[in-house]
Amino acid sequence: MTQPKSVFIVLSAIAIAGCTSKKEEEAPVEEAVVVEEKVAVVAEEPLKPLPEMGKLNMEKIVLGRKLFHDTILSGDGTVACSTCHALDHGGAEPRKTSTGIRGQIGPINSPTVLNSSHNFVQFWDGRAKDLREQAEGPVANPIEMGATWEGVVKRLQGNDKYAAEFAALYKDGITKDNVTDAVAVYEEALITPSRFDEYLLGDQNAITAAEKKGYETFKDVGCTACHNGVLVGGGMFQKMGLVNDYFKDRGTELTEADLGRFNVSKNPAEKHFFKVPTLRNVELTSPYLHDGSRATLEETVRVMGKYQLGRDLTNAEVNSIVTFLKSLTGKLPDYARVTVR
Ligand code: HEC
Ligand code: HEC
């Protein structure tokens, strides 16, 4: 972030809190007015900028990063979290549905791990309440990493480097809870501020005129009813096929995974409900939807128009929205990537 912008954030924080500091009193009147207007604009928008990150625990991030990229967490040493959540694929995978150990094909497309700490719940069907609970799942899932936690803890304890690193950070050393904690701390740091955040924070020039137009289209046609807030999604469950029957038209057999939230709640009214996915970095995460059935963003936006809004979007509308969506592609912090191993 450039210097003037951080100053602006400080000023707006002061304006929001409503307190007066010496600095503000000394500022020329016009400048103070401009700041207030900008804050008002941000407050009215259905999309919100990523909040500032708190203090980072770098040691835990580095340990979590190592675990996330290490096949030691899988039963046969072939699969890591990053196998299905590739940082160079927007934190998701380039396959329709996941491939776990021994080439087993999973039932559903992997969502991105980037910015995932801001999801209101984890998984498409919301069956984990947070990242720590989520991280328990894939390790012991027979068709994902196919390990047992007992086995993983033993293997890690047998590794001198891991043993020393855990001992330095956790009183009780290597346990399941500490492994999932380190992984979650790393995931919490996978935050990707974009040009669109700068725009929301008041920099009118951070996005192009075409991207602004696309954002207006996105709002006008009704996408923000479901894709809103910090993640442009991630805040509610919604029915896939709210207005038109998506599954009937899809032409492939209904799977258990297609039932979505119903699998957790057993509430028939929640059949085909899914967590509305984040659209941050969506440019990078093809294929799309829980079933991985759409290869391009254009096609996916068209599907959304038809099945969620009952609208046949024109080519111009689709292209405009896609142009806007690309402004949500952010930048990972340098420490997110593994450089050794
Ligand atoms: C074999 C592929 C595979 C592996 C390995 C894997 N995941 Fe996933 N991950 C998925 C799939 C598929 C989903 C969606 C499953 C669902 O919603 O039912 C998912 C969901 C998630 C989510 C939820 C995101 C959201 O928006 O709800 C997070 C976070 C996550 N994985 C992190 C991890 C971590 C951490 C590891 C390693 C401990 C890991 N994954 C290993 C495929 C994988
Ligand atoms: C009624 C709520 C709702 C509305 C309105 C809506 N969406 Fe969605 N969107 C969802 C849900 C739910 C999913 C996940 C569906 C699935 O995977 O089967 C989704 C998925 C997506 C995806 C795929 C993301 C991924 O990672 O696979 C994109 C892109 C998307 N929506 C864009 C849009 C656009 C653009 C609009 C407006 C034209 C829109 N959505 C309107 C609820 C909605």
Q: What is the model's pLDDT at position 227?
A: 98
C-beta of 257 in contact with ligand 2 (< 6 A) = no
Which residue CA neighbors atom 15 of ligand 1 most closely? 123
What tokens were used for 106? Answer: 């999973």
- HSE-up of residue 64 (Cα within 13 Å, Cβ side): 25
Q: What is the model's pLDDT at position 19?
A: 37
The reply to whether 337 falls in a domain is: no
* pTM for the whole structure: 0.89
Residue of 113, 180, 262 to test ligand 1 pocket, by largest number of atoms within 8 Å of CB: 113
The reply to whether 340 falls in a domain is: no
Among the bound ligands, the one closest to the CA of 297: 2
Bridge-based pairing of strands 237-239 and 273-275 is antiparallel
Task: Give the pocket of ligand 1 (CB within 6 Å).
Answer: 68, 73, 79, 81, 83-85, 98, 100, 106, 108, 110-111, 113, 116, 119, 122-125, 131, 134-135, 138-139, 144-145, 183, 187
Q: Is 298 a catalytic residue?
A: no
Q: What is the model's pLDDT at position 44?
A: 85
- Choose the weakest-confidence range: 34-48, 132-146, 181-195, 237-251: 34-48
CB atoms within 10 A of CB 313: 20
Instruction: Please give the residue range of the domain that contains residue 35.
Output: 5-52+193-328
Atom of ligand 2 nearest to the CA of 237: 12
- Whether 120 and 247 share a structural domain: no
**Which of 336 and 20 is assigned the larger pLDDT?**
336
Alpha carbon distance 271, 294 (integer Å): 21
| CB of 42 closer than 8 Å to CB of 200 | yes
- Whether 66 and 128 share a structural domain: yes
Looking up residue 199, the CATH number of its domain turns out to be: 1.10.760.10
Q: What is the model's pLDDT at position 58?
A: 95
- Choose the weakest-confidence range: 73-82, 97-106, 280-289, 306-315: 97-106
Give 142 Cα–ligand 2 centroid separation in angstroms: 29
The reply to whether 213 falls in a domain is: yes
Per-residue pLDDT averaged across 88-99, rounded?
94
Which residue CA neighbors atom 13 of ligand 1 most closely? 110
Give 119 Cα–ligand 1 centroid separation in angstroms: 13
Number of domains observed in the structure of the chain? 2
The reply to whether 171 falls in a domain is: yes
- Whether 187 and 150 share a structural domain: yes
- Whether 241 and 319 share a structural domain: yes
Per-residue pLDDT averaged across 260-281, rounded?
98
The active-site residue out of 93, 144, 187, 317 is 144
